[in-house]
Structure 1
Amino acid sequence: MEENQIDGSFLNETAMLLWGKSDPYEPLLHHMIDVGACAEAYLRKANRPLLKLLSENFHMSEVDTTAFIGYVTACHDIGKAHPSFQLKGDAFASLPENIKSRLKAIGGSFGFSANFRHEKYSKQILYEYWIRSNLMDANLALAAASVIGDHHQKSGSSLPMTSKVEKNYRYMQGVLLEEVKKAFAPSVFPERCDDLSLFGEGLNGILILSDWLASNEKFNVQVSDDTSEYAKNAFRVAKNTVEAVGFVKSRLPDVNGLAELYDWDARYLRPMQKLVDQEVSKAPKLTIIEDSPGAGKTEAAVFLAVKLCKSYGKDGFYFALPTAATSNQMWERLNNIFSKFSIPEFRLMHGMAWSVVQDDYKENNQKGSEDEIGPEWLRPMRKALLSQFAVGTVDQVMMSVMKVRFRPLRMLGLTDKVLVIDEVHAYDAYMSEIIERLLAWCRTLHIPVILLSATLPDEKKKEFLKAYTGLEIGVPISPGYPLLTMVDKAGNVIQKTCGPFKKTEYSLHILPLLNDLEKTADKALELTENGGNLCLMMNTVKDAQGVYRILKRKKQITDGSDLELLLYHARFTAGDRQRIEKLCLDRYSGKQRPKRSILVCTQVVEQSLDVDFDILMTQLCPIDLLIQRAGREWRHDYSVRPESITVPQIYVLTGDIKKSPVGLIYYPYILHKTEKWLEANKVLQVPEDVRPAIAYVYSQTGDDPEYFEKFLSEAQMKTSGESCEIDEPMADEYYLMENEALLSEDKDEYAGVATRLSRPTTRVVLCTDEMIEEYRNNQCLQFIINRMLDHSISLDCDVPYDKREQKGVLKGMYLAQEGNGIYRIDDVCAVRYDSEYGAEKIRGN
């Protein structure tokens, strides 16, 4: 096409008509203003803590900071003023004729280039523009432009134009940028920025969220040719949108002491609870609470979180736990605590939250947005971390520092919160490395953190302290236990001890039955012959299913009608797992426990679950986990126990670990050291033995080759963690995901990302032919969706993504059809399923 000389008047008019959304048509300028308005509304209405933080970082007022962030965010799509975008395919064809004729007159190549990314071009244009206009210094301009260049987190580049065409588009870009500046009217620009990582990370999340909010089909602004008038209309709609999405905050309870929060008599607070109550005025930035299971750490942490919100101007908190089961129970506990303060129900956030909380699964529509995932993030389940109060698995917050697409939204959700991580000892070297990186970013973003543990090794504690403070710890780690460790506002490490809540002495019995399920079942029946509730904890689902099957057979043979049996592990469908989890809690967490029962379980019962047994029988495990398992025994003083059971007893099943899968789950070195400690001690005294037992087991013994095997394995796990996490924050530079290989270039948002090192897993829906037909024909009916979800299960198999569901609620799941009682997953994996036993894997069928 011939490229004509075009006057400024024509270009001025055309600039205002360039399209930003094509279906339906929306001017580029209007969309840019919409997004900036959403950014301002979000800061004003939904995240005042981040606004305050950014203002302090710039040494500007909150009003000026809001206008600056709104302006920068609005500039994000200036790269769409490029012929490769304006003239592309179907979008161009759908434009009004007068706009098409203008674009043809300006010139450029028609068609579509998959390599052109408008946001990459935005980065180039804006950096040059801000420097040339003296609006920002080079470092700030680069950080802001780079965030904009990465806000879709897709690879690509800008494309060259002929000189005449480029001159025309550069002119129109200037027109649009001046109109944006007029709309947001930033009176001052930052002359200094103390921390570019703080600014960059905050802007990153705000931009992604604002772009999605403004792209929702319900975001309708009254059109006006006058930019200032349109901006006023957009600000009004943005404010209403932020409120409608549910980002507006509730008032935190204003309580003076821990007892007041729970309506307790302060005289009966437990020692650690009293200590936290006394020290809360220090407003620690990092707190580590170490106390034995059942000592009231959770209540102390929740109270501290509420008080820290007040001290640091935060709006709420996120409570992170190791498993979905523990998250579910904590969700109920927190809702019960805060319902009296008119706090809305906490959001539950983990991979199976939909099985507990009914969600609105209807698809949200959007007008021309490129990111399918955008509307999904605005659903109740997906926006949980952006809500004021949430509880879920630790994986959800770990992903805020992992190379996963749109991870800045997770970090954005933390900026107005206190973060609580429970059972922090329970995570391996891989997860701990990622948690340490999360702590470093919490330091930069001024996010207070509370860590809870019953059995935290000193070395791991040092690593957590170093990650949060950014410094080597200059004081010795206190050997005291229970222990409260705090990092105050000045960065000082303070350690305080208190007395134990109670002293428990567990009688230890070592049984050489690790690899003998038959005799294990016999012993469990013998121990409950005169009544009582026994927890039989196995290390694998296969062993748990095997011993349960034997127990059930022996019960039938001996007419054990008074014996109640229950099997609980992770390999049940969502519906069955929820049912069994509730049954387990109902049976063992209240005062009315069975007279005689055996719960066969795996590690799903190991931590945080508030259940109480009379006898614990467990396969060999590391000493810290054994102490955790012991916390499920003789937990409640009010429990009525058989006369024959006078003291807490732990039966540990030991044997040749080379013949058992236990050596693949835990380090042989730690297992052997644990066994040696158990052999040398007839009792386990809690809390007296906690520190010395863990110190003995985790210390190096000579040149033991098993120790070096553990050392090398942990080093490899740490390296694996480093490879999938973002860089450490730096005050003079902001990490950019575009500089790394993205882990989300395929269709799955989380593909290639693992928060836990294990075999690849796939969520599989176990279906009959009838279920699949109903689903294909009625994908919008809620009861059909719920039935499919209830029949889903996570299995350790790696189904290619293109064979999974590609859209809707079941996106990313694989539908496995039943045939002769077998569900085939792939060529080497199939399962048989039973609602009592769960899924049993069959190879080669």
Structure 2
Amino acid sequence: MQEDLYHLSSRFWAKTFAADLMAGISYKPVLHHLLDVAAAAQSLLQAKPGLLRRLSARYGVPEDRLMLVLAFLAGLHDLGKISRCFQIKWPEIWPEDELGPLVPVAGRSHWRNTALLLRDPSIAPLLTGLFPSVKPAYLQSQMAPLIAAIAGHHGVPPPPDDMKRDACNDPDLGPQLIPIAAHVAGELARILKPEPLEGLKDNSTFKALSWPVAGLITLADWVGSDAAFFGPQEPDMGAEDYWPLALEAAGKAVREKGLCPPAAFAAPDLARVAPAAAIAPRPLQQAAAELPLSGAPALVILEDTAGAGKTEAALVLAARMLAEGMGEGVFMALPTMATANAMYGRLAPVYRQFFEDGSSPSLVLAHGQAALSQVFRASTAQATPASGDPGGDDQPVSAFCASWLADSRRKSLLADVGAATIDQAFLAVLRKKHLALRQAGLASHVLIVDEAHCFDAYMGKELEHLLELHAMLGGSAIVLSATLAEAQKTAMLKAFAKGLGLRTPQGLDAGADPAGVPYPLITRLDAGTVTRTAPGTDPRLHREVAVRRAASREAVMQEALEAARQGAAVAIICNAVDPAIRMFEALREAGGVPVDLFHARMAQVDRQAIEAEVLSRFGKDAPQERRAGRILVATQVIEQSLDLDFDLILTDLAPVDLLIQRAGRLWRHMPQRPLETRPFDAPTLVVLSADPDEVADAKWGVDVLQQAAFTYRRPAVVWRTARHLFGRGRIVSPADMRPLIEAVYNAASWDDVPEPLHQAQQMAEGEEQGNRQLAKFNLAKPAEGYTGLQDQLSSDEEIGTRLGEATLTLRIARMRDGKLVPLAEPGGPGPDAMAEAWALSALSCRKAILTRQGRDAPPPPDAAEEKRRAAARETLRRSWPEFEASIVIAILEEDGHLDAGPDYSRSLSYSRSHGLINGAARE
């Protein structure tokens, strides 16, 4: 009977190989494919012994047993292909003599059938027997998260009803196919010989384990399905003979796909990872280089002022974590594309230092416009194939990057070192398809989150879930901020502790007054205990910035002009784009002083050029003659991470942490530009604001800031910022950092806030609470396990990583010889160059910008011209991928007006210097 079952099972196909039909080997049977994926899972775990050790410690089971159990679970992933609904796709090899005709049934997807089969009494004991500590009465409920993770490897778990159906009475399976499936599962168990995991019995542990199981299976199935490595063998080949072939193929596939991480350098220090900083290290950097590490998953929060070298401190700490086996790679998450681009440039010269000399780590830039980064394109264009030796000293590129990593943002988290927007990490916890693959990549990395203070309520909740899940997966994290409120920090620590299975880690509630907590500070959650280290301050970073109020934009403009005429490099930072454009125009009309404009509402080609120009004029290495006497008008794009230096900054009122960030761009490079070279005696931050002592109604500040008053919808926080800053008249760094942040953000009482602002503050708090609730709805809930995703998951486009007004992507085109061509000139011939040119011609903006109608809009084109433009748009769209169908095509006319089509405003215009403008905003 067993021999008959083996013969029958070999007739059930899992993969086809059309190219081998002539040779008579045209398919791979289910058993062989299951062995392929089990071998891939085992090879992936063997390639990352540190990850296996961390998971073993997290779940309290031996490493060798855990590896075999996880490989076995991975092997079960496609058992549901032994079903009529799947086999009907190639009925020619159906064993009709033994099973009768293959009758079509209204079946479900084969992966859903896996869930039914794993619960069948003839197969379930193979699974439940691995967890003898679970009481029989609870076996089915506790197995549910693991079954969902095994079956749901195509991006979504099976629906709840599939966890209740009876396979024996199901027309797609039934008593004919169940014995065959049971035989295949039994053969898999016989070959792998998984041994019971005694320690797993708590329901929450099974739910937590389902996440790494789901991620591993998704990755292993991707590897094990590659016909280039796992080619066909004779379908009747026995499992004993096939298993060594599968193991050999899996090892080769993992190596050549770049999934075998290089060994970490054993004793990294500042001199290796940040040689420039090592010459005269800052206290934070020295403390990070000496911070005790247990080797267990840890969360470390670094707080220090601008210029303290937080990035270098994080890099040396991450390198030490790799050496301790706390990760196999590094993933840096930044707030914006510009900061991610800049970080990629900083990582490229040093990322190899994390690993043993002579190794070939990969470095990837991952965000929505990564392909448009000139630095990234340069590094990937010359990439050496992974099968060669890309790590030689003669390699002509700064960053090796396997092509498959560069091609897909979903897989970019698998690179050894990555720089990305925080959105790419958030996609691992949002209720979206393929989140498990992102989790699998992230689990092996030390996650570094920069500028954490700038997250709003929605993003803050995303970060908490991300840290919780990262801890469940055995990962470690480092969070950087200059201005982090104590409540934010506590929320992060609690989330990470929850992921470790801890209720309240020792030392979390120190009972100290938040305003009295030391600053700078290193807060570490390691081995279940929270410890705080005050690294001390660097006298070189002690400074005092004068703060005073400007009462009008006219006053701001006049002071900026006077300062520039004295030779100062001046920045004016506006909270919104339209006021920035108006200020830029007013300054140009005043004349006599060169002015630049930098904001996000520009086509990528222009934004990149302007960003490079700004860095060359106001960056660290800018010569004095290029920066002196110039004014830069900008929005928040210069607030974070861009290394700029100004003699004077004038800014719209914003929450105190953001103003501190803006002040960090004052007198930043003192060794290059000492006091005697500056046009003023001291750095000054001039803040455009209403008088905080004169609050007549809820519209306080609107008369002065106009549109920019509505950027930050936290009236009490903004008012407190004005009161405390103007009351002090200065920001003393680092002494004022903690007291200022806590004084402004203390939500225990708003009694000090003027009564006219109370209702507006309550509305703002209600909106924030609503955003947190929306985040909870949109986010995967780590504590519920993989079964918690059984509601409908969305595609990437349907749930945003950030909240805000509805946005649209617009591509700017020109009409040339009756055809539409991109604003950006293609860099060469061929479709790839044209696709890149269209991407460089794109910008993203609020939908309201495109729909607001103005009174002085030019007339629409005549009917014939409108018809020609509509036809040209339709022709162009047919050449684009389907997912680009929603992009707005705006035709740039000779006079600068934009025709975005009949559904959008006729008041739109675009220029390379101003960006996108809606004339209605000026009315």
TMscore range, shorter length: 0.7 to 0.9
Identify which of 701, 715, 725 aligns with 1:657: 701
Paired position in structure 2 for 1:365: none
The residue aligned with 2:31 is 29
The CA RMSD measured in Å over matched residues stands at 3.4
Deviation at 1:380, TM superposition (A): 5.5
SS at match of 2:681: coil
State the match for 2:136 in structure 1.
Answer: none
CA distance 1:163–1:541, shift in 2 (3 Å): closer
Shift of 1:813: 6.1
Q: Please give the alpha-carbon distance, in whole angstroms, between the structure 2 residues aligned to 1:27 and 1:827.
A: 55
Give the letter aligned to residue 50 of structure 2: P
Alignment length, in residue pairs? 795
Q: How does 1:529-608 map to 2 (within 5 A)?
A: 529-555=565-591, 560=592, 563-591=593-621, 592-593=623-624, 594=626, 595-608=628-641
In structure 1, the residue matched to 2:900 is: 824
> More displaced, 750-759 or 306-315?
306-315
Structure 1 position 488, deviation (Å): 3.0
- How far off is 1:325 after superposition? 0.9
Distance in 2 (alpha carbons) for counterparts of 1:165 and 1:86: 11
Matched, 1:287 2:300: yes
Other-structure match for 2:322:
309
Structure 2 spans left out of the alignment, 5+ residues = 19-26, 132-138, 384-402, 691-699, 851-873
Q: Distance in 2 between matches of 1:715 and 1:43?
A: 41
Distance 1:53 1:804, change over 3 A: farther
SS for the counterpart of 1:492 is: strand
Secondary structure at the counterpart of residue 499 of structure 1: coil
1:223-252 CA-partner distances (Å, limit 9, x unpaired): 133133333223222222222221222233
Q: Look up the SS of the partner of 1:336 in the other structure.
A: coil
Q: 1:277 maps to which residue?
A: 289
* Secondary structure, aligned partner of 2:812: strand
- 1:322 partnered with 2:335: yes
Deviation sequence 1:204-230 (CA, Å, 0-9, x none): 011112222333453442413313333
Residues 272-281 or 408-417, more deviating: 272-281
Match 2:231 to one of 218, 221, 229: 221
- Aligned residue for 1:612? 645
Distance (whole Å) between structure 2 residues aligned to residue 214 and residue 26 of structure 1: 12
1:486 corresponds to which of 509, 517, 524: 524
Matched residue of 1:596: which SS?
coil
| 1:350 correspondence with 2:350 | no
One-letter identity of the residue aligned with 2:801: T
In structure 1, C-alpha distance between the alignment counterparts of 2:288 and 2:821, rounded to whole Å: 57
Which amino acid counterpart does residue 188 of structure 2 have in structure 1?
Answer: V
One-letter amino acid matched to 2:67:
T
Deviation at 1:304, TM superposition (A): 0.9
Q: State which of 534, 538, 546 in structure 2 corresponds to 1:507.
A: 546
Q: Which moved more, 1:104-113 or 1:239-248?
A: 104-113
Contact 1:276 1:304 in 2 (8 A): yes
Q: Does 1:106 align with 2:100?
A: yes
Quote the offset at 1:168 in angstroms: 1.1
Letter in 1 for 2:683: P
Change beyond 3 A, Cα 1:519–1:498: closer
Q: Confirm or deny that 1:710 pairs with 2:710.
A: no
Give the letter aligned to residue 298 of structure 1. Answer: T
Q: Distance in 2 between matches of 1:698 and 1:804?
A: 48
- Cα distance in 1, alignment partners of residues 647 and 218 from structure 2: 52
User: Which ranges of structure 1 fall in alignment gaps of 5 or more residues?
Assistant: 1-6, 363-374
1:64-463 pair list within 5 angstroms: 64-87=65-88, 91-92=89-90, 95=91, 97=92, 99-100=93-94, 102=96, 106-107=100-101, 109-110=103-104, 113=107, 116-128=108-120, 129-133=122-126, 135-137=129-131, 138=139, 141-154=143-156, 166-182=174-190, 184-193=191-200, 195-224=205-234, 225-226=236-237, 227-255=239-267, 257-263=269-275, 268-280=280-292, 285-339=298-352, 344=361, 346-356=363-373, 357-358=376-377, 379=407, 381-463=409-491
Identity of matched residues, %: 25
- SS of the residue 1:37 aligns to: helix
Offset at residue 617 of structure 1 (A): 0.9
Aligned 1:40-55 pairs, distance under 5 A: 40-45=42-47, 47-55=48-56
TM-score by structure 2 length? 0.79
C-alpha distance in structure 2 between counterparts of 1:308 and 1:315, whole Å = 9
Q: Please tell me whether the aligned partners of residues 326 and 476 of structure 2 are also in contact (alpha carbons under 8 angstroms).
A: no
- Decide whether aligned partners of structure 1 residues 334 and 435 sit closer, same or farther in structure 2, where only a CA change above 3 A counts: same
Q: Distance in 2 between matches of 1:807 and 1:21?
A: 31
User: Where do residues 657-696 of structure 1 align in structure 2 (5 Å cutoff)?
Assistant: 657-659=701-703, 660-666=706-712, 667-696=714-743
Q: CA deviation at 1:49?
A: 2.6
User: Greater CA deviation, 205-214 or 527-536?
Assistant: 205-214
Superposition TM-score, scaled by structure 1 size: 0.86
Equivalent residue, structure 1, for 2:693: none
- The C-alpha deviation readout for 1:261-292, integer Å capped at 9, x for no partner, is 33358572212223333434566822221111
Mapped partners of 1:535, 1:492: distance in 2: 41
- For the 8 Å contact 1:58–1:190, the answer to whether it is kept is no
Deviation of residue 785 (structure 1)?
2.0
Partner of 2:840: 790
Shift of 1:756: 1.1
Classify 1:826/1:413 alpha carbon distance in 2 versus 1 (closer, same or farther; 3 Å): farther
8 Å CA contact 2:87, 2:94 repeated in 1? no
CA positional deviation for 1:201 = 0.9
Structure 1 window deviating more from structure 2 (588-597 vs 767-776): it is: 767-776
Does the CA contact (< 8 Å) of 1:575 and 1:791 recur in 2? Answer: yes
Question: How many Å separate the matches in 2 of 1:185 and 1:797?
Answer: 56
Q: Deviations over 1:580-601 (max 9, x none)?
A: 2222222222331422211111
1:222·1:230 contact (CA, 8 Å) conserved in 2?
Answer: no
Matching of residue 736 in structure 1 with residue 812 in structure 2: no
Q: Would the alpha carbon gap of residues 679 and 143 (structure 1) be closer, same or farther in structure 2, given more than 3 Å must change?
A: closer
| Alpha-carbon distance in 2 for matches of 1:131, 1:221 | 30
Query: Is contact 2:277-2:312 (8 Å) kept?
Result: no
Counterpart among 39, 42, 50 of residue 41 in structure 2: 39
Specify whether residues 235 and 639 from structure 1 end up closer, same or farther in structure 2 by C-alpha distance, changes over 3 A only: same
Say whether the 8 Å CA contact 1:245–1:378 is kept in structure 2: no
Amino acid across the alignment from 1:13: H
* Counterpart residue number, 2:22: none
Secondary structure at 1:120 match in 2: helix
Q: CA deviation at 1:647?
A: 0.9
Report the AA paired with residue 891 of structure 2. E
The Cα offsets for residues 780-839 of structure 1, whole Å up to 9 and x where unpaired, read as: 73212221221122223399xx99889759757625151644141772457433222222
Measure how far apart 1:636 and its partner are: 0.8
Deviations 1:508-552 (A, max 9, x none): 221112xx4x55433321221111211111111111122112222
